Amino acid sequence: TQLTRRETRQYQELDPRQDTYYVGVQLDIPLYRGGAVRASVAKAEAQLAGAQSDYDVQRQQLAEDIETDYLGVVAGFAKSKAMQRAVESNQRALTSTEKGFQGGVRSTVDILDAQQRVFQARRDLLNTKLDMLQSYVSLHTHTGQMNRAVLEQVQNLF
């Protein structure tokens, strides 16, 4: 709503004085406001749907991460057992190669190759255990069960 008033005075030689008064009123009355309300409701509904979609995506991702971590722990445990057997096997092969060298059947190159296989097997075993521990810690983190006891348990392994 707007109210305006204007007043003018003029003096001329023929007509001694002339006064003019103007008064005006301007009203702004919205005839239809439902569009704004509907638009804001639609916007809020779209934002809610977007937030729900984001929540569902995050929830699904968390479930996948937990499953991946769990499988990493289980597979890592089995793989570390196999890698431990590989270390023991390569260690026996090294001992056999050293005896063969003493008997004149093997060379120093054979001993070096056997030693290299032992060290590679040990490295692979340690990498497997490290991957398993990372999955273990990640599993506890993703499930909300990470605490000081879990970290101390992992730390005691070293």
User: What digits encode the pLDDT tens for the residues 33-88?
Assistant: 667 778 888 999 999 999 999 999 999 999 999 999 999 999 999 999 999 999 99
Instruction: Tell me the pLDDT of the chain averaged across its residues.
Output: 86
Question: What pLDDT is attached to residue 36?
Answer: 76
Q: Name the H helices within 103-156.
A: 108-142, 148-155
Reduced to 3 states, what is the DSSP secondary structure of residue 5?
strand
Contact indicator for 80, 129 with CB cutoff of 8 Å: yes
Whether 49 is covered by a domain: the verdict is no
Q: Is residue 148 assigned to a domain?
A: yes
Q: What type of residue is 158?
A: F
> Range of 145's domain?
63-155
- Whether residue 18 is contained in a domain is answered as no
Per residue in 7-25, pLDDT tens? 665 555 655 566 666 666 6
Task: Compute the distance between CA of residue 145 and CA of residue 149 in angstroms, rounded to an integer.
Answer: 10
User: Could you tell me if residue 17 is inside a domain?
Assistant: no
Whether residue 150 is contained in a domain is answered as: yes
Task: Tell whether 143 is covered by a domain.
Answer: yes
Please count the structural domains in the chain. 1
Asked if 118 contacts 86 with a C-beta cutoff of 8 angstroms, the reply is no
Residue 74: both structure tokens together: 């289980």
Q: What percent of the chain has pLDDT over 70?
A: 78
**46 found inside a domain:** no
Neighbours of 76 (CB within 10 A): 20
CA distances from 112 to 97, 98, 145 (A): 10, 10, 46
Domain contains 43: no
Q: What percent of the chain has pLDDT over 90?
A: 63
